[in-house]
Amino acid sequence: MWGVLCSHWFNTWVRPSDSVIDLGAGYCEFINNITAHRKTAMDLNPETMLRAASGTDVLLHDCALPWPVTNGSFDVVFTSNFLEHLPSKDHVMEAIKHAHVALCDGGVLIALGPNIRAVPGAYWDFFDHLVPLTERSIAEALSLAGFDVELSIARFLPYTMSTGRHVPIVLLRAYLRCPPAWRIFGKQFLVVARRKPTVA
């Protein structure tokens, strides 16, 4: 599934020459499938080190603390189904601020996650969902942190994709080519924002 998502969708914002960091990488589904020059996975779960493909740097680090990376050294920060697991909105905001520092001017942040407006009750079926988020709240946080929001989709992927359910590849490709279906089945938001250039 992630191979298709990366090759048919997320590669719109990730070039083969880019440096990419996967925030809350988990089992490394995204970072192992995206084509990029330099890959970094950040998570507190030690399992991430075992799941990361060869050549991927792994940072076992709390994303709400200053990141142990060179300022402006990344072209893309990607995060999927992660921010809602942080302890509070303050932690979410700190993570976004650190992402801003890590990105170069014009660098891109891609955020994917369950939209509480689309799954109001089911959102809390996951015991570790702590922060209610929508595409609007994420876009607001990004704007406050110095990003320009380029794309905001309230309903993108189905909610079940975040639970590890296997989706036939042919159906996934067809779904990605059919935005009207997103409005019916989409339960996860997608927000893409770009770091504003530094003013001298």
pLDDT in tens, 166-194: 667 888 899 999 999 999 999 999 999 99
Predicted pLDDT at 59: 98
Instruction: Determine contact, residues 105/74, Cβ cutoff 8 Å.
Output: no
pLDDT (tens digit, 9 = 90+) per residue, 84-143?
A: 999 999 999 999 999 999 999 999 999 999 999 999 999 999 999 999 999 999 999 999
Is 145 a residue whose pLDDT tops 50? Answer: yes
Q: Which residues of 148-176 are buried (b: 16+ CB within 10 A; e: fewer)?
A: ebebbbbbbbbbebbeeeeeeeeebeebb
Instruction: Determine contact, residues 46/26, Cβ cutoff 8 Å.
Output: no
pLDDT confidence band for 161 (50 / 70 / 90):
low
- The beta strands (E) that lie in the chain are given as 19-23, 38-43, 57-60, 74-80, 103-114, 147-153, 188-195
Architecture in CATH for domain 2-195 = 3-Layer(aba) Sandwich (3.40)
Predicted pLDDT at 159: 87
Predicted pLDDT at 25: 97
pLDDT confidence band for 165 (50 / 70 / 90):
low
Predicted pLDDT at 162: 47
User: Phi and psi for 7 in degrees, rounded to 5?
Assistant: -80, -25
Is 146 a residue whose pLDDT tops 90? Answer: yes
Instruction: Determine contact, residues 57/39, Cβ cutoff 8 Å.
Output: yes
**DSSP β-bridge partners for residue 193:** 109, 149
Enter the tokens of residue 194: 């770009």
Do β-strands 57-60 and 74-80 pair in parallel, antiparallel, or remain unpaired?
unpaired
Average predicted confidence (pLDDT) for the chain: 94
Q: How far is CA 141 from the centre of its chain?
A: 14
Domain boundaries, the chain: 2-195
Q: Of 72-76, 87-91, 120-124, 161-165, which gets the smallest average pLDDT?
A: 161-165
DSSP 8-state assignment for residue 111:
E
Predicted pLDDT at 163: 47
Mean of the pLDDT values across residues 52-73? Answer: 97
